[in-house]
Each structure stands twice: as structure tokens, then as C-alpha cells.
Amino acid sequence: MMREQSDVIVCGGGLAGLTLAYQLRKENPEASVTVVERTTRPLPEACHKVGESSVELGSHYFGEVLGLKDYLQAEHLKKNGLRFLCGDSRGPVAERPEIGPAEFPIVPSYQLDRGKLENDLRAFCEELGVELLEGEHVRAIRLGKDGAPHEVETSAGTLKGRWVVDASGRRRMLSKQLGLRRPSPNASSAAWFRVAERVLLNELVPEGERLWHQRDIDGNRWLSTVHLMGRGYWVWLIPLSTGYTSVGIVADAEHHPFGTFNKPEKALAWLREHEPVLAERLEGRELEDFRLMHDYSYLTERMISADRWACVGEAAAFVDPLYSLGSDFLGMSNCYAARCIGDDLRGTLEADVVEALNETWVRVAEDAARTLSGNGEVFPHGDIFGAKLWWDFFNYWSFMCAHFFQEIWREDAATLRRFLGMQARYYALNSHAQAILEAWGALKPTPFGGRKRFIGLPSFPSTLADQHLSLQEDLDVEGTWAKMESDLAIGQQLVAEILAHALRDLGPETAAELGRRAGLDASWGLPLAGERIDADALPRRQRIEKLPRIARDMERALGRVDPGVPLSELLARALGTGAEAGAEAEARA
């Protein structure tokens, strides 16, 4: 039976499809929107899906773009940022370097109970007039040609729509049909489950460790997404508003074959081997809703087309859960799709806008994949991973968040193209940063690095804290561009300081190999010369006065290693220009 045509058919009524339908009706009240979803209500409130933890961009999308801030604060848990514990995973938790917020972040994010959220979103969508076809299964999508409507064949009949949006998650109907999948450099897998009680980080540390417990001044450490880091893996602990705790294992194939944790009993045995303190806390608890994602990461060459189709959320790409970016990519893809659909319904859609938005989204996903792959040797070291987090968060807030928060995606094609040029510059700098960090991790001679027991993320006051707070600013296009330019210069200083920390930590014997592995070249243009190099050799008090602010911030956060060799000599060796001078210095010593 042929049904009446809709303006938009959304294939899939999970988080991506429901939020897009809600957004479309809010922004285009006259548009007819149909969502086809195979499951029916009520969904179990503690249902277990990846995507429970959100960060700044995704939270901004849910709270501000969709207008759900009051609902989220009333019905879900406000999140105390991301928290990471590195070091000896088999040793006492109190002795592991802890990296995370010292105070509750001002820019909000949330721990989402997906079952409750999706139940409520279905009701919200119906209140706005979305047609929700529950219990229907999408069997096929047939794209119309030359402006003809698309057809969606379901278990109950055939639908026609001007636009069709694939929100089918990892089923990726359109991506498979059109051959859009691109491989990701991230070869990792995950297993996760939930337990019907709170599993608190503080419970893993004896009460006698008073200094450790005193760092949690307000008793809200448990509201963080906790990451227990080890070589080639990390384990998450996420509290849910229903009283459950989500527990997940994420591991790369190089260090931890999928078959070692792909069943409940194997996962528990794996935890006993790698995270014994947590395993002891979970002993005897029922593992509910055990789930798996093997080789989970994939990219795409296209998420939206001027031919009136789009892929949103995981139907487009999935990078990695380490930084909880799933809802970020969901929010970006939904906004890009909603903007283009709205333009089309008003008769103003430009193909150049579609192409620029698609290129922006695809590049952001590629950049995130570069950031979140090859980190297995970085994770155990509090100093290296701390440096990585400083850079990754600064980079994330400087471009990806700024582009979204300031709604650059609503601008014309010329402006979007202009910002693509800025994006490419950030991408290049990020590639340099990741190369240094990966080489540093691979060459680290000790199994666990990092002298600091606690690294604030961000620490106050600091350049990083200022960058986080700047997300609250309301800037126009030129103001956003100027800030990105300024932040890029600070970012170059930050990457230079990461290189300086790596060189001092590894010392003269390994400096040349660090440079070789990272592909270090003077053409990178890192500001590590002149007065900055001279200041490094000064006594501490004078050095602190002369160093740029970002260098002082990094030294305060990560500490400082003195290898007994000037930074200028270490840098020369890393660049391949100081080998003879280094050999002479060693001979004299």
C-alpha cells in the first residue's frame, strides 16, 4: 500500500533519528516528518547503549539547540567531566596518576540514561506532530532520481518522501548501499555491560588514603566518566540516573585480542588480570545486557547529499568512545542535515553549501580518528597522557566546539569554505602533536610514567581553563575567525611544549630517535627557539618569569624532568642537526 508522501522520512528512531525529527519540527513547523522504528514502547529505562556519556558539543546540541536543558538537568545526571587514571593498573588505585577536573565544570555535560531519554523523546516528537511508526522494520531504501521522491519499503508498506535520512545506526543502510564506508586507522573492539548498583571510584580506594579522598572536596568524583587506563586498553565506569553503572572494556587488537574479553566470563577474567581492584568490586554481581562491538571504528566519504539524503549519527561514522564524542558527531550531522532540509523546503538550498558541510563533517571525523588511534603505548603514562589530554582538549574546544557553538554551519558557502581552510591548519597541527605523543610513548623506557599524583583537567588558573570558559562566549563570524587564529598560535606553543617535555623526559640518547619517529622537521614552525630556548636553561625562578604562559601551565601540570643537557642540544639532535656536538659533549662528560 502506498502511503501519502512526507517531506522527510527518518529510517530509525534511536537517539539520532528522534533528535533530528524533533529538531526538524521545531525549526520547520509545517514540515511533515515520519520516523520508522522497529521497537515499540515502553523501552526499559535502564536499557544499555553506547552513548550514555556526553561532552560539551553534544550537550550543547541537546540542551541549547534542541532546548532540552531543563529536562536534562531534572531527569539525568549532570556530569563531572572526564576522569582518567593511568599508571600501574594492578597496583593500588590511590597511587595511580589521576587526571580530571578538580571542580565541577562550568560548561555543562550529562550522563544520559538512554532508555529513559529515548522513551521521553518519542513522546516529545509526537507532541510536535512527528509521525512515529513504531513496530515497523525498514527493508529497503530506493533513492529517487531527477527530483523524484525517495521510497522506503517497510514491513507494513511503502512510504514516499522528498528527503530520506538514514538513522539506522551501525546497520548503515545507505552507506552500505552506496559504498560510502571508509576504513578507520583505529583497530579496537569493545565489550560492555551494566550492574544494578552504583560502582563508585572512591570505593576502590581504602578510607585510610585520606589525601586521595580529600581531593574530592564536594563528593562528586563519582559523577565523572571514569577511565582506567592501561597499555592498549581502557575501562569505563559511567553512573546512570536509574542507579545502574555502565562498565566497558575498550582494547586495541595489537595488545588485546578480541577473543580474550568477548564473553561475560572472559571479560571478568580479563578484568581480574588487568584491573584486579575493579574486578574484586564486581565479584558476584550479575552482568546485565552484555554487549559487544568488534572492530567498531569506521569512517565515511559522505554524510549528506544534494540529492536529498543524509546519514546521521552512527549511520554515517563511528570513531571511538574514549572522549565520549558520539553525541558530538550525532549533533553535528543532525544540524547539517536539518539546515539543508530546511533550506530545501524553503527553496533556497545550494549545492555548494551541502558540499562544504559534508567536507567539514568528514574532515572532523578523520581528525578525530587520527587523534584516537595509535595510543596504546601512551595510556599507561600519566605524564604523556596528561600532555595528550591538554592538547586534545585544547584542540577540541578551539575548532570543533567553536565551529558548532558559534553556528558557523548556518553560514553561506563562501564562509563555510573559508573555515575549511582554518580546519586544515588545525588538522595539520594535530597530526604533528599526535606524532610526537606516539613516538614519546613508544620510546618511554619505564612501564609507567608521571610524577604527579593529580593533574587538573583543566586546572585553574590556566590557558586550558580559559579556553574551556570561552565556549560561553557569543561571537560573530569575524570574531570566531579571529579567536581561532589566536588559538592556533597558542596551539603551536602548546605542541612545542609537548615536544620540549618529551625531549627532556627521554634525554639525549633518545632525542634523535624521537625526531625520526615523529617525522620532526623545522618546517613545522613550532615556536621552540630564541628566547624560549634561552629561558629553559635559567634557574627555576628566572625561568618561570621568562617562559610563555602555556609553558608555565604545562610545567605546573606535568612537572619537569632535567636531563642535564640543554634543550637546545636535545632539539638539535631531534632535528638531526646536533649529533656531532652531542657526541663531543658526551665525550667531555
CATH of the domain at 56: 3.50.50.60
Kindly state whether residues 211 and 341 are assigned to the same domain.
Answer: no
State the burial class of residue 413 (Cβ atoms within 10 Å of its Cβ: 0-12, 13-18, 19+): middle
Same domain, 82 and 200: yes
**pLDDT confidence of residue 451:** 83
Q: Is residue 365 part of a domain?
A: no
CATH value at residue 245: 3.30.9.10
Sequence-distant (≥ 6) Cβ neighbours of residue 268 within 8 angstroms: 279, 282, 287
**Distances in whole angstroms, Cα of residue 10 to Cα of each of 15, 24, 94, 164:** 12, 11, 48, 6
Predicted pLDDT at 51: 58
Q: Is there a single domain that holds both residue 148 and residue 118?
A: yes
Beta bridge partners of 454: 98
Q: Verify that 440 and 581 share a domain, yes or no.
A: yes
Q: Of 263, 294, 325, which marks where a domain is finished?
A: 294
Residue 582 confidence (pLDDT) above 50: no
Confidence band, pLDDT 50/70/90 cuts, at residue 370: very high
pLDDT reported for residue 43:
85
Establish if 356 belongs to a structural domain: no
13 and 58 both lie in a single domain? yes
In a domain, 368, yes or no: no
**pLDDT in the model for residue 52:** 80
Q: Which residue has the cell 597530526?
A: 431
Q: What is the pLDDT of residues 189-210, one digit of tens each?
A: 999 999 999 999 999 999 999 9
Beta strands in 270-396 (DSSP E): 288-293, 298-300, 304-305, 309-311
Q: Is 283 exposed, middle or buried (0-12, 13-18, 19+ CB in 10 A)?
A: exposed
Average pLDDT rounded to a whole number, residues 573-579: 83
Reference 1, options 150, 133, 157; nearest CA is 157
User: What pLDDT was estimated at residue 334?
Assistant: 98
Is the Cα torsion angle 520, 526, 530, 536 positive or negative in sign? negative
pLDDT of residue 2: 42
Per-residue pLDDT reduced to its tens digit, 291-319: 999 999 999 999 999 999 999 999 999 99
- Please determine, for residue 50, whether its predicted confidence score (pLDDT) is greater than 90: no
Tell me what pLDDT residue 438 has: 98
Residue 8 has pLDDT above 80, yes or no: yes
Question: 553 and 420: one domain?
Answer: yes
d(CA 316, CA 298): 9
What average pLDDT does the structure give for the chain? Answer: 95
Give per-residue pLDDT as tens, 415-455.
Answer: 999 999 999 999 999 999 999 999 999 999 999 988 899 99
Residue 329 is part of which domain span?
A: 1-76+114-181+298-348
Quick one: pLDDT at residue 585? 39
HSE toward the beta carbon, residue 489, CA cutoff 13 A: 7
pTM above 0.85, yes or no: yes
Average pLDDT over residues 115-139: 96
What is the C-alpha to C-alpha distance for residues 213 and 206, in angstroms, rounded to an integer?
9
Same domain membership, residue 323 and residue 251:
no
Same-domain status, 290 and 302: no
Question: What's the rounded mean pLDDT across residues 466-491?
Answer: 98
- 510 & 378 share domain: yes
Mean pLDDT, range 392-401, rounded to an integer:
98
- All three cell numbers of 25, joined, read 519540527
Residue 361 domain-assigned (yes or no):
no
Q: pLDDT tens digits for 501-554? A: 999 999 999 999 999 999 999 999 999 999 999 999 999 999 999 999 999 999
**Are 245 and 208 in the same domain?**
yes
Residues 286 and 315 reside in one and the same domain: no
pLDDT higher than threshold 90 for residue 4: no
At 459, the pLDDT band (50, 70, 90 cuts) reads: confident
3-state secondary structure of 185: coil
Min mean pLDDT across 1-15, 131-145, 352-366, 555-569 is at 1-15
Asked if residue 522 is part of any domain, the answer here is yes
In the chain, the number of structural domains is 3
Distant-in-sequence, close-in-space partners of 500: CB < 8 Å, separation ≥ 6:
528, 536, 551, 567, 571
d(CA 289, CA 43): 14
Separation between Cα atoms, residue 314 and residue 295, nearest integer Å: 14
Count Cα atoms within 13 angstroms, Cβ side, for 342.
16
